[in-house]
Amino acid sequence: MSALRELSREVVAPRAGLLWRVLPPGLYAGRSRMLVARSALASRSVWPAVVSGFFEPLFYLAAMGQGLGSLVGTVVGPAGQQLSYAVFIAPGLLAASAMNGTVYDVTFGFFMKLKYAKLYDAMLATPLGPVDIALGEIAWALVRGGMYSAGFLAIMLIAGLISSPWALLALPAVLFVAFAFASVGIAATTFMRSWQDFDLVTLTVLPMFLFSATFYPLSVYPAALQWLVRAFPLYHAVALMRGLTTGVLGWSMLAHVTYFGVMAAVGIVVASRRLTVLLLR
């Protein structure tokens, strides 16, 4: 343990720079901080790929909110009020940016390090354990998802797409959403056997993005399909963000938060147990 601390002081911490000092302690648990710092260092060489994730929701907002929005006009909001199309879809894109910013990092990137780079096998020679590895990778995915979400939330504010001071809670809420998606993403990746299995990731994420009331109200679906949509994690994220940014609050907010709390807890437990089996067998 003392050797690990010495490494962090002399090698990792100085090179990680500002990120090492400003990360809230809640983003990592003890030794998991090593993985966050390591990921920060590795991302410096591929920063265009990291930064590119910020622009995806902006392109959708410009194309759909401004382009298609000029044809759609207004849309019924969560309380029955009329909202401009850009105001309606912006919270959905905020929730989607949290999902995309974390899921792809804890699936494709995590699988490469687990199966091919064998990075975690070397880490187990240190005081790091499977739980530390799971929490460290989740924390780094949360950092990326949080950066994308915070940037997009700032764009929403500048563009006048926020109509309630309750939107101040949107950032911690979207970070919680990102944490839940990252936990489940890592847990699912531990079951992947080859790159072909990742077709299931796209098959899951893309329909959620399109059909979770991101671009149109839930009421456009038949009643039977509405129940299916309500089962999607992204639907709960979209409803939560839309309520906060428009100032429409209710007891349903607690249901959305509880959904992600259960989702995060299950993901962490499964990921930790699966990594213990895969790395210590």
pLDDT tens per residue, range 136-167: 888 888 888 888 888 888 888 888 888 888 88
Tell me how many domains the chain contains: 1
Q: What is the pTM of this model?
A: 0.83
Mean pLDDT of 122-133: 80
- Looking at the DSSP bridge assignments, the partners of residue 75 are 83
Predicted confidence at residue 55, as pLDDT, reads: 78
Q: Please, which residues have CB within 8 angstroms of residue 140's CB and are 6 or more apart in sequence?
A: 35, 36, 39, 40, 105
The answer to whether position 245 is within a domain reads yes
Query: What are the C-alpha distances in Å from 115 to residues 23, 131, 233, 277?
Result: 28, 18, 28, 14
Print the SS3 string covering 183-206. HHHHHHHCCCCCHHHHHHHHHHHH
Residue 19: is its pLDDT beyond 70?
Answer: no
Predicted confidence at residue 255, as pLDDT, reads: 93
Comparing 10-24, 166-180, 187-201, which segment has the lowest mean pLDDT? 10-24
The answer to whether position 17 is within a domain reads no
The answer to whether position 22 is within a domain reads no
Predicted confidence at residue 277, as pLDDT, reads: 85
Mean pLDDT of 38-59: 73
Cβ distance 74 to 49 under 8 Å? no
How much of the chain exceeds pLDDT 70, in percent? 85
Predicted confidence at residue 12, as pLDDT, reads: 44
The answer to whether position 33 is within a domain reads no
- pLDDT, tens only, 73-100: 788 878 778 888 888 999 999 999 888 8
Predicted confidence at residue 21, as pLDDT, reads: 46
Angle subtended at Cα 256 by Cα 60 and Cα 145, rounded to the nearest 5 degrees:
45
How much of the chain exceeds pLDDT 90, in percent? 24
Q: Look at residues 241, 206, 250, 234 and name the one whose alpha carbon lies nearest to residue 90.
A: 241
Q: Look at residues 34, 234, 232, 245 and name the one whose alpha carbon lies nearest to residue 132.
A: 34
The answer to whether position 38 is within a domain reads no
**Domain extent at residue 222:** 54-280
CA distance 147 to 13: 21
Query: What are the C-alpha distances in Å from 211 to residues 55, 69, 120, 237?
Result: 21, 18, 36, 13
The answer to whether position 188 is within a domain reads yes
Cβ distance 190 to 274 under 8 Å? yes
Q: Which two tokens stand for residue 84?
A: 């401009």
Predicted confidence at residue 94, as pLDDT, reads: 92
Is the four-CA dihedral 75, 77, 83, 89 of positive or negative sign?
negative
Q: What is the CA radius of gyration of the chain?
A: 20
Mean pLDDT of 18-40: 58
CA distance 81 to 75: 8
CA distance 64 to 228: 25
Predicted confidence at residue 124, as pLDDT, reads: 80
Predicted confidence at residue 262, as pLDDT, reads: 96
The answer to whether position 49 is within a domain reads no
The answer to whether position 23 is within a domain reads no
> Confidence class of residue 9 from pLDDT cuts 50, 70 and 90?
very low
Query: What are the C-alpha distances in Å from 128 to residues 85, 119, 234, 259?
Result: 48, 12, 33, 30
Angle subtended at Cα 170 by Cα 20 and Cα 269, rounded to the nearest 5 degrees:
60
Predicted confidence at residue 49, as pLDDT, reads: 64
Mean pLDDT of 41-65: 75
CA distance 240 to 253: 6
